[in-house]
Structure 1
Amino acid sequence: MPSGHPPQFGVYLLGSAPDQFGWESRFVRWPDFWLPRDRAYTTEVLIEALRRSGSERVEVACGGGRGRTGTALACLAVLDGVPPGEAVAFVRDAYHRRAVETLWQRRFVERFRS
């Protein structure tokens, strides 16, 4: 459970479905160190998360908080106008220096478009 105020919406990037937390959420099947299984659905969920973040507390989480979460945050940055080639550096600077852990996750961000 997150500390502080609970989110109003959650995006969970995991290999298997999480338990329900008591707030609205979306589950994206995304094995550790890999890429999401359904790119189109992942894009829909991230667009929804970005839209909702303007007025709601939104949580994006995976198991370790760096690879999948960092990749999703970089994709959200792209959706919000950061050039795809700069999004990984942006997230590493603003979130965690080791976010987006694998080469294929970096390529996913660089090729990400809504």
Structure 2
Amino acid sequence: MIAAVLRVAARRAPVVVARRAMSVSAVRCNLIQDLYVKEIKGYKAPPLTVADAQGSVKPWVSPSAPAPPAVEGDVAADLAAYESSTVEVESHAPVAEGAEPVVEDWFVIEPAHDLHH
């Protein structure tokens, strides 16, 4: 059954012919290029050794430990003087005990004046 279907499909399939739409140019020999490629392919790099790297590599030295920071003066005495100092507060006129503080309206919208011609 499948073979019969394949035979019918093969008979009805169109034959495709491939054609080139461009011309083929002849390969030209380039003597200089051939010699250059031959020399490059024949070059063997010398193997690298440990002695080759000695001049360009700096030897590793572990870093020294950093010195602790120096503290100037007596820190304990300065801290005690700071804690015992009083806090200075700047304020406006003192508010009476029974009076409420005056709240100023700082966001005042002025009424728009109509300009007449």
TM-score, length-normalised on structure 1? 0.14
Query: Whose strand proportion is higher, 1 or 2?
Result: 1
Larger radius of gyration: 2
Query: Whose helix proportion is higher, 1 or 2?
Result: 1
TM-score, length-normalised on structure 2? 0.14
